[in-house]
């Protein structure tokens, strides 16, 4: 059963109160013991579960995972309130003010011709708002997974015009980096190989961004596909009374190709 959006405010207050009750004396012993640091991993985990539900186009799961993510936000806000730092109301107020100030083309008189101009203006506003920031790249979280971090950095740089003119230039750069990896392997220098591999991976992320594909999503799907196909190999071998450790590479390759042809996995 769906609740109307008109009930959102009431339900949000109820969610806030539920979180408070869990932390109060007589509440949940586990919840009362938690700190910002102990629940931080759950915040990250829930965000990834939201992403997974989106990838799977599973609306019921997305609804549930968004709720779990919201709970983590309320958890952090409650701890902050107990410490006297800020309240969930402060979080909402600050966010509303920020969104309105960063959308002067909606809530003000500024005229922007397209989404590219909107993003460029957004980055310029962020530099003005954030004290101590001198670069559009300063806002990328330090602990973001490397693949996502590369994508975000490239995206931010492109918003202010630092980007390839066309995809042919991107492919040329990719070919260049692959060639440099081959040269580094030929020289046998571990540090040089690592450096050139990093450049190659960075170029691949750039290609994904240029093609408007999320490299993290693409890699996760590739991993899932590999796992499905490998499990297919294991399953077929098990039917024959054997397993990968007792099979030849040729036998496993044949089953891999069989899975691809049948499009079973």
Cα–Cα distance list, 135 to 140, 149, 157, 162, 202 (Å) = 10, 15, 10, 13, 20
Per-residue confidence (pLDDT) for residue 77, from 0 to 100: 97
Per-residue confidence (pLDDT) for residue 229, from 0 to 100: 94
The phi, psi pair for 168, rounded to 5°, reads -60, -35
The share of the chain scoring above pLDDT 70, in percent, equals 97
Considering only 132-141, 183-192, 203-212, which range has the smallest mean pLDDT? 132-141
pLDDT tens, position by position, 40-55: 999 989 998 998 899 8
Angle, CA of 169, 172 and 174, to the nearest 5°: 110
Q: How far apart are CA 156 and CA 138, in angstroms?
A: 10
pLDDT tier at 264 (50, 70, 90 boundaries)?
A: low
Q: Which long-range contacts (CB under 8 A, 24 or more apart) does 118-122 make?
A: 119/159, 120/159, 120/160, 120/161, 122/159
Considering only 111-115, 124-128, 207-211, 249-253, which range has the smallest mean pLDDT? 124-128
**What is the pLDDT of the chain when averaged over all its residues?**
91
Q: How far apart are CA 191 and CA 208, in angstroms?
A: 26
- Which spans in 56-114 are helix H? 59-83, 88-101, 104-107
Per-residue confidence (pLDDT) for residue 191, from 0 to 100: 95
What's the rounded mean pLDDT across residues 126-133? 74
Q: Give yes or no for a contact between 215 and 151, defined as CB atoms under 8 angstroms apart.
A: yes
Per-residue confidence (pLDDT) for residue 98, from 0 to 100: 92
What's the rounded mean pLDDT across residues 111-137? 83
Q: How far apart are CA 112 and CA 69, in angstroms?
A: 33
pTM of the predicted protein model: 0.65
pLDDT tier at 86 (50, 70, 90 boundaries)?
A: very high
pLDDT tier at 143 (50, 70, 90 boundaries)?
A: confident
Q: How far apart are CA 131 and CA 108, in angstroms?
A: 23
Q: How far apart are CA 158 and CA 79, in angstroms?
A: 38
Domain 141-214, CATH:
1.10.287.1080
pLDDT tens, position by position, 18-73: 999 999 999 999 999 999 999 999 998 999 899 889 988 999 999 999 999 999 99
pLDDT at 128 over 90: no
Q: How far apart are CA 157 and CA 165, in angstroms?
A: 13
What's the rounded mean pLDDT across residues 193-218? 94
Q: Which candidate, 200, 202, 203, 201, places its Cα nearest to that of 169?
A: 203
Q: Give yes or no for a contact between 184 and 196, defined as CB atoms under 8 angstroms apart.
A: yes
Per-residue confidence (pLDDT) for residue 1, from 0 to 100: 52
3-state helix, strand, coil in the chain (%, to 5): 75, 0, 25
Cα–Cα distance list, 75 to 81, 93, 137, 158, 258 (Å) = 10, 17, 29, 36, 49
Q: Which candidate, 102, 101, 40, places its Cα nearest to that of 72?
A: 40
Specify the CATH class of 7-101 in words.
mainly alpha
pLDDT tier at 97 (50, 70, 90 boundaries)?
A: very high
Question: Please, what's the largest Cα pairwise distance for the chain?
Answer: 73
Place of tokens 């050139």: 196
pLDDT at 130 over 90: no
């Amino acid at each position: 059963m769906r609740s109307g959006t008109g009930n959102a405010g009431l339900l949000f207050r109820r969610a806030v109160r539920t979180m408070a009750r869990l932390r109060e004396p007589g509440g949940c012993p586990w919840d009362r013991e938690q700190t910002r640091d102990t629940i931080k991993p759950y915040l990250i985990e829930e965000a990834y579960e939201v992403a997974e539900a989106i990838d799977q186009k599973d609306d019921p799961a997305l609804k549930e995972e968004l709720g779990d993510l919201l709970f983590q936000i309320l958890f952090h806000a409650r701890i902050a309130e107990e410490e006297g730092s800020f309240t969930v109301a402060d979080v909402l107020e600050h966010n509303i003010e920020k969104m309105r100030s960063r959308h002067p083309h909606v809530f003000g008189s500024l005229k922007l011709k397209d989404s590219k101009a909107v993003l460029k203006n957004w980055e310029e506003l962020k530099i003005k708002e954030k004290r101590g920031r001198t670069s559009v790249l300063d806002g990328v979280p330090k602990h973001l997974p490397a693949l996502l971090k590369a994508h975000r950095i490239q995206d931010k740089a492109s918003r202010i015009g630092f980007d390839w003119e066309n995809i042919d230039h991107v492919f040329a750069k990719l070919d260049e980096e692959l060639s440099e990896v081959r040269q580094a392997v030929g020289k046998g220098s571990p540090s040089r190989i690592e450096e050139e591999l990093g450049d190659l991976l960075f170029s691949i992320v750039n290609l994904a961004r240029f093609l408007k594909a999320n490299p993290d999503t693409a890699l996760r799907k590739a991993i899932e596909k590999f796992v499905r196909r490998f499990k297919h190999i294991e399953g077929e071998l098990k039917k024959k009374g054997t397993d990968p450790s007792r099979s030849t590479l040729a036998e496993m390759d044949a089953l891999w190709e069989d899975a691809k042809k049948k499009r079973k996995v």
